[in-house]
Amino acid sequence: MKFLLIGAGSMALAGAAVIETSWGRMERAAELDIAGSLGVSRENVKVAAVADGLIGSAMGRVASVEISAREFRVDGNPFFCDPALSRAGRLGMLRLRLREFVVRDLPVESLEADIPGCRFALGMLTAGEVRLSRSGEGPGTVTIAAGDLRKYMLARFKVFESLEIRLEKYKLFAKGRAAFGPVRREFEVICDVEIAGKRALVIANPIVFVEGSRARDGSAQSLVNAFNPVLDIDKDLGMAGAFDMSEIVIRDGKAVISGIARIPVRPE
């Protein structure tokens, strides 16, 4: 995907009197490009860039760019960098503020990331675009609501005939009916959700009830094993290494996942 950021070099050539106009023009071009890639109208995307002063702009430096987008659907990570391109352009901070979007089968309430130390291909400004050529790493947070997790699990695990999900008091509460071949059972699960290998969420420490009775014969763990991992963000969502999870907090009907974010290299 072309990833337009800003036209720092062009603004320096135009001079101080037109810097503000040039920034606005490049921001609008970036909004159109990103909106096209996300399959939404430009009204759903906002790009705000901050110059690094006249000297910084002349040297191809940009202080920050914030990309906000909402209400879109993608089949994987939409942002990539190309390390084969020039790294002459310097971006101090890339901020992502994404709201109410869907990645494959998972609705996401929000994603926020602050990624420092990015580079872009300054020479491509003659074509009216700048593409990211290197990404730094910075803090990121993803928020998933209980109802959205339910939608994802119903779409992924076809054995569920019905399912209710609650995210409260640092626990996941699941209740419903599942069909394993010709056998159908009412179930209820109370469990932790843990991070495995930075890229997966797994059920842990389960308490399982089947047809109203607690399962104590090992079948509880067998049932959980059939659903683990609940989510692998690379395999299931196509995130291509964009996010390393480090902490998950469950409360008030939401799962808030913190970690390290980056713009990955496009897979070959």
Mean pLDDT by 10 residues, the chain (268 residues): 39 38 73 89 91 63 91 95 89 96 97 96 58 94 98 92 95 91 87 96 92 80 82 96 98 97 92
DSSP H or E stretch at residue 93: strand 89-103
Distance of CA 242 to the CA centre of its chain: 8
CA separation, residue 22 to residues 18, 36, 69, 225, 252 (Å): 6, 21, 22, 56, 45
Both tokens of 11, joined, read 């603004």
pLDDT at 123: 66
Q: Which of 105, 109, 91 has its CA nearest to residue 50?
A: 91
**52-88 per-position pLDDT tens digit:** 766 556 566 788 999 999 999 999 999 999 999 888 8
pLDDT at 264: 97
Whole-model pTM? Answer: 0.87
pLDDT at 15: 37
Instruction: Please check whether residue 227 is in contact with residue 157, taking contact to mean a CB–CB distance below 8 angstroms.
Output: yes
Instruction: Please check whether residue 30 is in contact with residue 6, taking contact to mean a CB–CB distance below 8 angstroms.
Output: yes
**6-18 per-position pLDDT tens digit:** 333 333 333 333 3
Domain boundaries, the chain: 8-136, 146-258
d(CA 73, CA 217): 43
d(CA 1, CA 90): 20
**Locate tokens 């869907």: which residue?**
102
